[in-house]
């Protein structure tokens, strides 16, 4: 049975052996995979919170005479509404583009990151392993599988927060399974992820919580500690978790799938 201390020590040793490449890969994953779409979401929040009081600038030109009564007889200025509409269209289009990028670009990138840190446990791979899932015969399957993974988690989250969290841990190993075996089917990836995480969800949740202190320290350094230490540390530890769960799961089985 694995322990947090052992996994974190192995993860720390692995990323420090290949330090700068690990830092770069973790930074790319943080920038595009973990943080993807947040800027667009923030922009949408700004649009939806745009108060009608901001229209006061325009009322100076439309609040007198017949023209003023025609264009501004309901308390809302036409120019302000037009600006809101234009911004909403632009931001909405950006959200659609962001979602498509997430599905067709960032999801395969996530699998490539898993592959890099899994290989990094044993030797020193190059940053080019980020493109692992873009190879012929794997790209389409990766895109569909991770899209369905996020869809399932999202649908469960609509019921209650807790079921969504449970499902996120249940399907946590899907990208690692795809990265480990390019020939694995979508159905097998979901099934094996459930079986690997059976009885391990709480321990994995506590493992995640054990990095909370590092995250707080990262805030004190304006994110520099996260870039140069915490992010690669977390990614390497997660890869060690998958490798350990796989070893334990297939230790007593004869039908183990080929490893990396």
pLDDT in tens, 223-248: 999 999 999 999 999 999 999 999 99
Residue 146, domain member (yes or no): yes
Segments forming the whole domain that contains residue 149:
4-250
Alpha carbon distance 150, 171 (integer Å): 9
DSSP string for 91-159: HHHHHHHHHHHIIIIIHHHHHHHHHHHHHTTTS---GGGGGGGGSTTTHHHHHHHHHHHHHHHHHHHHH
Domain count, the chain: 1
In this structure, of 104-108, 173-177, 186-190, 209-213, the range with the lowest mean pLDDT score is 104-108
Residue 203, domain member (yes or no): yes
pLDDT value at position 218? 95
Residue 259, domain member (yes or no): no
How does residue 103 score in pLDDT terms, banded at 50, 70 and 90?
Answer: confident
**Which residues, in sequence order, are CB contacts of 98 under 8 Å at separation 6+?**
36, 37, 40
Residue 149, domain member (yes or no): yes
Residue 260, domain member (yes or no): no
Place of tokens 């089917």: 185
Residue 256, domain member (yes or no): no
Residue 73, domain member (yes or no): yes
Residue 257, domain member (yes or no): no
pLDDT in tens, 1-22: 899 999 999 999 999 999 999 9
Q: What is the pTM of this model?
A: 0.81
pLDDT in tens, 150-177: 999 999 999 888 999 999 999 999 999 9
What is the separation, in whole angstroms, between the first and last Cα of the chain? 22
pLDDT value at position 62? 45
């Amino acid at each position: 049975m694995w322990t947090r201390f052992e996994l974190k020590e192995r993860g720390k040793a692995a990323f420090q052996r290949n330090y700068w490449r690990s830092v770069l890969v973790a930074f790319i994953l943080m920038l595009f995979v973990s943080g993807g779409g947040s800027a667009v979401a923030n922009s949408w929040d700004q649009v939806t919170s745009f108060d009608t009081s901001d229209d006061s600038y325009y009322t100076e030109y439309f609040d007198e005479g017949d023209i003023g009564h025609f264009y501004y007889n309901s308390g809302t200025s036409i120019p302000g509404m037009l600006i809101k509409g234009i911004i909403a269209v632009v931001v909405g289009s950006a959200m659609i583009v962001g979602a498509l990028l997430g599905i067709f670009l960032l999801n395969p990138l996530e699998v490539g990151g898993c592959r890099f840190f899994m290989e990094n446990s044993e030797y020193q791979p190059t940053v080019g392993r980020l493109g692992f899932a873009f190879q012929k015969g794997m790209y389409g399957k990766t895109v569909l599988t991770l899209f369905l993974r996020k869809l399932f988690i999202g649908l469960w989250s609509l019921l209650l927060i807790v079921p969504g969290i449970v499902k996120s841990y249940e399907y946590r190993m899907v990208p690692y399974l795809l990265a480990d075996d390019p020939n694995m089917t979508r159905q097998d990836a979901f099934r094996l992820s459930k079986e690997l995480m059976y009885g391990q969800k709480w321990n994995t949740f506590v493992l995640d919580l054990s990095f909370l202190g590092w995250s707080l320290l990262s805030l004190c350094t304006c994110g520099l500690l996260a870039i140069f230490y915490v992010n690669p540390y977390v990614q390497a530890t997660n890869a060690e978790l998958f490798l350990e769960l796989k070893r334990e799961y297939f230790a007593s089985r004869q039908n183990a799938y080929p490893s990396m």
